[in-house]
Chains A and B, each alone.
Chain A
Amino acid sequence: MPKALYRLLLSLCLLLPLAAHASEAEYFAAAKPNDQARLLQEWAAQPDPARLALLTSLQQGRISPDDNRKLRLNNRLRGLVDNALASHQLLSGDPATRLQAAQQLQKTAQPAQVAFLDRQYATEKDDSVHAALGLALANLQLAAAEPSVRLAAVRLLGETGDPMARTRLEALLDPAVESDAGVRTAAETSLAQVKRKLLVGEILGQAFSGLSLGSILLLAALGLAITFGLLGVINMAHGEMLMLGAYTTYVVQIMVQRYAPGALEFYPLLALPVAFAVSAGVGMALERTVIRHLYGRPLETLLATWGISLILIQAIRLVFGAQNVEVANPAWLSGGIQVLPNLVLPWSRIVIIGFALFVVLLTWLLLNRTRLGLNVRAVTQNRNMAACCGVPTGRVDMLAFGLGSGIAGLGGVALSQIGNVGPDLGQSYIIDSFLVVVLGGVGQLAGSLWAAFGLGIANKLLEPQIGAVLGKILILALIILFIQKRPQGLFALKGRVID
């Protein structure tokens, strides 16, 4: 609709006595549900910009912006309100609003709206809104009288990857619904097209959630691999470092809420150093008090650290309760990018993947470009020789343990943004991160990286095909078979040391 006309309409409505619209609202509020539905359908077919305010407040469950009375609408009416509102928003001057409205109409538009949509489709200038409107129109045209219109609509639907288009096209395959054979064949071709597009979206989506799982596993396994390579012991309390990190995020969130509500948006950034410090501190304390005294007895260390994890879990349960605590996503981490009609990549997961890679880079720099890293690598390769050359092995052990635990703490912050935070959080990740270490080999960043992402993606790709449980079992079996071939993991350290 040309802008001038739109402005004219707008000014006209301003001139109209407000009471008229107030009475429309009153009329609507007083009507019976069936009449309300009829009204909403009429409004959707013939939008009037003056009604925008009324519909907006209806959507929020009120009668008008300055009236606080609650209006109870059932689900069907609520859907109709959304539809009518979208119809009105198509008249908006803002392309983004129009696009949203057109997408809403793809789902909910009614046959009575065809004439209106046709008019809008003809005058729409913005390309993406034009395309979206075309789809909304095509959905309606599937029921048109002339076969040629239906055929065009079917062809248009074939080019989308919209899950809704699939159900609509599937219905057309039935001769009882669609009488024209030509349209039926076209529907079949279009359906195949849509299915292919949907499949691509699905697989990409699974691969993406695999990447996201992999990045969490990576953060969990990185520290585990470092300490395992260094000390030859497995820290069963490592999962609890993730949990501590997540709970630290929760505490930081509450603190920021209380003392600096303005900065609440950025609390995850503040939580990162705090979580690192807390987890690293606990890790170093563990190393000093327990693990140090069990050197050379890896199996006992396993049991002792399991005991520590029991104590940590129970302590958290006593302090914070056994229920999950609520960690909120800040606005900049919620929402996502719509890549395909059935594929949305959430921002939180994208940020976490990036963050995990960043942490790997930092760890790589730390291990390969600093004095501490040199010492860690020396002790990993040959403890006695390193000690003879003056490397303070005890200090290196403690710092490396702190580093590994701290990384897990960072993982906990990341995890708190996409999952539930509860006392058992660490337990659910620990076995998978062990498998990453087994698969990736010890003390090897590259091995951990490939193993974590590989396991994550394999898990998520297998899940819909054969179920989560069978997928896990299959992966376990594959790992056991893999170890037959390469007992030292994907990337083995070359050395001549034997026990």
Chain B
Amino acid sequence: MNQPLLVTATQKAGPKLSLAIGAVVLLVLVALPLLSLLPDGHALQVSAYTLTLVGKILCYAIVALALDLVWGYAGLLSLGHGLFFALGGYAMGMYLMREAAGDGLPAFMSFLSWSELPWYWAGTQHFAWAMCLVVLAPGLLALVFGYFAFRSRIKGVYFSIMTQALTFAGMLLFFRNETGFGGNNGFTNFRTLLGFDITAQGTRAVLFLLTVALLVASLYLGWRLARSKFGRVLTALRDAENRLMFCGYDPRGFKLFIWVLSAVLCGLAGALYVPQVGIINPSEMSPTNSIEAAVWVALGGRGTLIGPLLGAGLVNGMKSWFTVAFPEFWLFFLGALFILVTLYLPKGVVGLLKKRGEQ
């Protein structure tokens, strides 16, 4: 893979066709929230359920994109991206809880008969500081973990296992009531966001549009990065780290930058996810969730940027259908997907499409 598949595909298909497809998809995504604003009973009205579901999947798609940046380009398979996602979500949740509680303490703290907020809750009543936390919490954690991991050149499966242990530890920590994040139940019962009713159709539509905007922005960012010299160095790092080092590059900085960027993107996605879905709890950090994100990327195609979005949409769409139709068989299907994709679709759906295009 000399250059990103997206670039190759764009060149092959001609800019017109891909632009046309992209524009149509974007148009549909922008139209969805607007259609949801139509009055009840209108033939074209999009239900709140559908809008939430698609919004949720879009947030997952951002996670998939972020994972693709580190796995597809830098070759670092993270099994702990759920942690960053949840941290962003919790930061947003702190603000929403404060908003819902007014001047008092959030309800779960009253149940624990706490009299004052723990220090790390300071300032979370301000939206701006909460937004800073959304970026800082996952960013700093990724920075510290990444610094130590890359310094001692942990890579490959070692790196994957350490990230998995990290998110597992995070989950255990947040499950405790004493940690101050609502324990098992996490945060829920949100009321308002910046004064707007969180269940109102208008608020939902705006949140949805913001998610679409973040997705497009991160796709553009990823595309620019992949085309830049930085992206080429990352690819080289993935394919032959030792040779790159002999050429005089220090891989640590490159890895650390993309790693932190990816974590921050996940945090932002989590922050948009929480108000739309209305709940955040520690199970978001379970290793199962993070590893599921890896299969979105693998199914769509690694190192293609557009593939992971496709993968996230496919798997999650399938999941919401399966868990209603055949709840017992979803895990069989997911398991089989893991095996079949790795065995027969090493380049994912995008790779398949590309091969079809070449023939």
- Known: A476-B169, A498-B242. Is A307-B176 also a contact (CB below 8 A)? no
Interface contact B157-A299, CB-CB below 8 Å: yes
Which of the listed residues B169, B176, B287, B291 has the most CB atoms from chain A within 10 Å of its own CB?
A: B169
Residue interface bits A417-457, CB-to-B below 8 A is 1, else 0? 00000000000000100110010000000000000000000
In the complex, B143 has a CB within 8 A of chain A: no
In the complex, A112 has a CB within 8 A of chain B: no
Q: How far is the CA of A294 from the CA of B298 in the complex (A)?
A: 14
Q: How far is the CA of A308 from the CA of B161 in the complex (A)?
A: 17
Interface contact A318-B148, CB-CB below 8 Å: no
Instruction: Pick 13 A–B contacts, CB within 8 A, sort by A.
Output: A290-B343, A303-B338, A306-B338, A307-B334, A307-B337, A308-B338, A434-B161, A469-B176, A472-B172, A481-B148, A487-B152, A487-B153, A499-B242
Secondary structure call for the B interface:
helix
Binding site for B on A (CB under 8 A): 228, 232-234, 290, 293-294, 297-304, 306-311, 313-315, 318, 431, 434-435, 438, 467-470, 472-473, 476, 480-481, 483-484, 487, 498-499
11 extra interchain contacts, Cβ-Cβ under 8 A, other than A431-B287, A481-B148, A484-B148?
Answer: A294-B342, A298-B157, A303-B342, A304-B338, A311-B331, A314-B331, A431-B168, A435-B165, A473-B173, A476-B165, A484-B151
Interface contact B172-A473, CB-CB below 8 Å: yes
Q: How far is the CA of A317 from the CA of B164 in the complex (A)?
A: 24
Interface contact B294-A480, CB-CB below 8 Å: no
> Which residues of A lie under 8 Å from residue B341 when comparing CB positions?
303
Chain A: minimal CB distance from B257 (Å): 20
Interface contact A308-B176, CB-CB below 8 Å: no
Q: How far is the CA of A484 from the CA of B332 in the complex (A)?
A: 39
In the complex, B175 has a CB within 8 A of chain A: yes
Q: How far is the CA of A297 from the CA of B79 in the complex (A)?
A: 16
> Which residues of A lie under 8 Å from residue B77 when comparing CB positions?
299, 302
Interface contact B331-A310, CB-CB below 8 Å: yes
Interface contact A311-B154, CB-CB below 8 Å: no
Partner of A310, one of B176, B298, B335: B335
CB nearest to A435 among chain B residues? B165
CB nearest to A237 among chain B residues? B335
- Known: A299-B156, A435-B165. Is A307-B242 also a contact (CB below 8 A)? no
Interface contact A233-B157, CB-CB below 8 Å: yes
**Which parts of B302-359 form the interface with A (CB within 8 Å)?**
328-329, 331-332, 334-339, 341-343, 346
What is the size, in residues, of chain B's interface with A at 8 Å between Cβ atoms?
Answer: 45
User: How many A-B contacts at CB < 8 Å in the complex?
Assistant: 115
Partner of A487, one of B154, B165, B176: B154
Q: How far is the CA of A467 from the CA of B177 in the complex (A)?
A: 13
**Which parts of B79-101 form the interface with A (CB within 8 Å)?**
79
Q: How far is the CA of A228 from the CA of B287 in the complex (A)?
A: 21
In the complex, B268 has a CB within 8 A of chain A: no
Chain A: minimal CB distance from B167 (Å): 10
Q: How far is the CA of A302 from the CA of B328 in the complex (A)?
A: 24
Interface contact A311-B335, CB-CB below 8 Å: yes
- Known: A431-B165, A431-B287. Is A310-B334 also a contact (CB below 8 A)? yes
CB nearest to B153 among chain A residues? A487
Q: Which 7 pairs between the two chains have the least Cβ-Cβ distance?
A: A307-B338, A310-B335, A311-B335, A314-B331, A307-B335, A300-B342, A304-B342
CB nearest to A469 among chain B residues? B172
**Which parts of B115-168 form the interface with A (CB within 8 Å)?**
145, 148-149, 151-154, 156-158, 160-162, 164-166, 168
In the complex, B46 has a CB within 8 A of chain A: no
Chain A: minimal CB distance from B319 (Å): 13
In the complex, B295 has a CB within 8 A of chain A: yes
Interface contact B148-A480, CB-CB below 8 Å: yes
Interface contact A234-B173, CB-CB below 8 Å: no
- Known: A234-B161, A294-B343, A304-B343. Is A314-B168 also a contact (CB below 8 A)? no
Q: How far is the CA of A51 from the CA of B145 in the complex (A)?
A: 71
> Which residues of B lie under 8 Å from residue A304 when comparing CB positions?
338-339, 342-343
Q: How far is the CA of A483 from the CA of B148 in the complex (A)?
A: 9
Chain B: minimal CB distance from A336 (Å): 30
Interface contact B165-A434, CB-CB below 8 Å: yes
Q: How far is the CA of A310 from the CA of B157 in the complex (A)?
A: 19
Partner of B328, one of A298, A306, A318, A435: A318
Q: How far is the CA of A484 from the CA of B341 in the complex (A)?
A: 35
> Which residues of A lie under 8 Å from residue B153 when comparing CB positions?
487
Chain A: minimal CB distance from B349 (Å): 16
> Which residues of B lie under 8 Å from residue A468 when comparing CB positions?
172
> Which residues of B lie under 8 Å from residue A434 when comparing CB positions?
161, 164-165
> Which residues of A lie under 8 Å from residue B154 when comparing CB positions?
483, 487
> Which residues of A lie under 8 Å from residue B175 when comparing CB positions?
469
Chain A: minimal CB distance from B280 (Å): 19
Interface contact A438-B164, CB-CB below 8 Å: no
Q: How far is the CA of A467 from the CA of B179 in the complex (A)?
A: 12
> Which residues of A lie under 8 Å from residue B165 when comparing CB positions?
431, 434-435, 476
> Which residues of B lie under 8 Å from residue A293 when comparing CB positions?
343
Chain B: minimal CB distance from A234 (Å): 5
Q: How far is the CA of A313 from the CA of B342 in the complex (A)?
A: 20
- Known: A293-B343, A431-B287, A473-B173. Is A480-B335 also a contact (CB below 8 A)? no
CB nearest to A473 among chain B residues? B169
Interface contact A306-B156, CB-CB below 8 Å: no
Interface contact B339-A307, CB-CB below 8 Å: yes
> Which residues of A lie under 8 Å from residue B145 when comparing CB positions?
480
Interface contact A469-B173, CB-CB below 8 Å: yes
